[in-house]
Amino acid sequence: MATSMQLRREILAGGRDAALAALYGADPAVLARQRQRYADALEQFERYFGPGRQVHIYSAPGRAELGGNHTDHQHGYGLAAAVMLDLIAVASPSDDGFIRVKSRGFNKLDVIDLSEAEPQDGESTHSASLIRGIAEGFRARDRAVNGFDAYTASDVLRGSGLSSSAAFEMGMAVILNGEYGCGLPTPELAKICQYAENTYFGKPSGLLDQLTSAVGGVIFADFADPAQPDIEKIHAAGLLPEGMSLCVTDTRGSHSELTGEFAAIRNEMEAVASQLGAKVLGQVQEANFWAALPRLRTVCGDRAVLRAAHYFEENARALVQRDALRAGDFPVFLKAIAASGHASYTLCQNVYCSTDVRHQGLSVALALSQTLLEHSGGAWRMQGGGFAGTIQAFVPQRLVQTYHDAMEGVFGKGSCYILRLREQGAVRVI
């Protein structure tokens, strides 16, 4: 274990290039950027927590949802891929019972007193609640953890649909797991993070985002038993055929005020399930849903009914996508991507907020993508929880520059990313 100053010197001199290349690839320009990024994070750690501390550096990736939009929390299927955009955390353990975290771009230093185990008044929806909940998740599994000091720097766009929250959560979890030798497998860390997000942060999320950040690669998950989901890892290297790129455009709309909108999707789906004698839609036979449609419309309302229909349609589509990836049938996979995007508009209705119709960044991005990519062999869809954030597009190489420039012309410089997929999940890098 080296000091922050020693690591900074080694990284800038290229002495840790092998570790960086394993995550980000060996392109010289990419390595140069990551060297500087890691060195800057180490310097900021010293600024807030002092020089001479022995540290480790951890990384947790963001994710691109590929299929199963709002199906995981209903015990359905999910499909997602880890991406190169990640959160890195410089961390050093402490024995004073406090966790202190400073995150780049946020003015506040989170300070969590681990003697206060329960959710704290006024802390929900803030990062401190996630950290507290994750620490308690370890303790609930009889793992002895203590404090740490950490500085984080994230390239995962906040509020973008690439799940910056899951990357942050997994970053905190791998620090505790690594610094205190807890030995928990990464899927178990994902469950701890979901628990913290549900119980302490107050967002009723599913588990797919955390699992993808934890495990890496392309993940297909069956959440029929959410306590023990059946996980299949499909290697990311085989996803994109030659000549096709995955582009993500940040429409510069934040998810930070949308927890209620996300919660409504889950609540309405579960209201329908309740009328059919179940807790979640994954426990309902689709035929029984359609047979009860007249009654469900009256009792639950049409939006809830449409969102339930979305669940059944999207869940079946996730299976089609998985099978297409297994078989290397990319055209079938792309057809399902396009169908998923259409369902978000018409059934799930999570492309924009009905209470703020003047702001429809996702709708504009999707319309522009259709104009640019129709008849090109590409596909486009909203991704993530919805209402704001990002869209994704599979773009033929001959159109990547045109697509990139057009999207940035509308949403601003730096809004369109050409993503690379990542095999590794959350991990200690150095």
Q: Are 165 and 197 spatial neighbours (Cβ–Cβ below 8 Å)?
A: yes
381 DSSP assignment: E
Nearest alpha-carbon partner for 63 in 215, 234, 188: 215
Phi, psi of 391 (to 5 degrees): -115, 160
Cα dihedral 168→196→390→167 (10° resolution): 20
Cα separation, 35 vs 22, in Å, equals: 13
Cα distances (Å, whole numbers) of residue 221 to 66, 228, 396: 12, 10, 28
Range from 225-234, 289-298, 419-428 carrying the lowest mean pLDDT: 225-234
Query: pTM of the full predicted structure?
Result: 0.86
Q: For position 384, what pLDDT does the model report?
A: 80
Q: Is 51 exposed, middle or buried (0-12, 13-18, 19+ CB in 10 A)?
A: exposed
Is the pLDDT at 423 greater than 70? The verdict is: yes
pLDDT of 103 above 70: yes
pLDDT at 161 over 70: no
Q: What integer pLDDT is reported at residue 1 of this predicted model? A: 82
CA distances 418 to 207, 212, 397, 398, Å, are: 26, 19, 11, 14
The answer on pLDDT for 284 being more than 70 is: yes
Rounded to 5 degrees, φ, ψ at 264 are -65, -35
- Residue 159 has what pLDDT? 58
Query: At which residue do the structure tokens 């807790």 appear?
Result: 279
Least confident of 74-88, 262-276, 379-393: 379-393
Give the mean model confidence (pLDDT) for residues 131-152: 97
| Inter-residue contact 24 to 31 (CB < 8 Å) | yes
Q: How confident is the model at residue 256 (pLDDT cuts 50, 70, 90)?
A: low
Percent of the chain with pLDDT strictly greater than 70: 97
The closest of 94, 97, 5, 86 to 45, measured between CA atoms, is 5
How far apart are the C-alpha atoms of 168 and 130, rounded to whole Å?
A: 9
Cα dihedral sign, 232-236-238-242: positive
Q: pLDDT tens-digit profile of 178-206?
A: 999 999 999 999 999 999 999 999 887 77
> Six-digit token pair at 68?
């199963």
Flag whether pLDDT at 137 surpasses 90.
yes
Q: What is the mean pLDDT of residues 421-426?
A: 94
Phi first, then psi: what are they for 116, rounded to 5°? -105, 95
Confidence of residue 255 (pLDDT cuts 50, 70, 90): low
Nearest to residue 160, comparing CAs of 64, 67, 60? Answer: 64
Q: What single string gives the DSSP state of each residue in 295-332?
A: HHHHHH-HHHHHHHHHHHHHHHHHHHHHHHHHHT-HHH
Return the C-alpha torsion angle 197, 198, 200, 201, nearest 10: 50
From the list 312, 386, 395, the residue with the least C-alpha distance to 344 is: 386
pLDDT value of residue 380 = 96
For 107, residues 6+ apart whose C-beta sits below 8 A from its C-beta are none
Amino acid sitting at position 345? Y
Query: Binning pLDDT at 50, 70 and 90, where does residue 389 land?
Result: confident
Query: What is the pLDDT, as a whole number, of residue 409?
Result: 98
92: enclosing H helix or E strand: strand 77-94
Show the domains of the chain with their CATH numbers: 2-235 (3.30.230.10)
pLDDT of residue 400: 97
The pLDDT assigned to 164 comes to 87
Per-residue pLDDT tens digits for 287-337: 999 999 999 999 999 999 999 999 999 999 999 999 999 898 999 999 999
- Collect all residues with Cβ–Cβ distance below 8 Å to 400 and sequence separation of at least 6: 245, 247, 418
Mean pLDDT of the chain: 93
Query: Which has the higher per-residue pLDDT, 378 or 255?
Result: 378
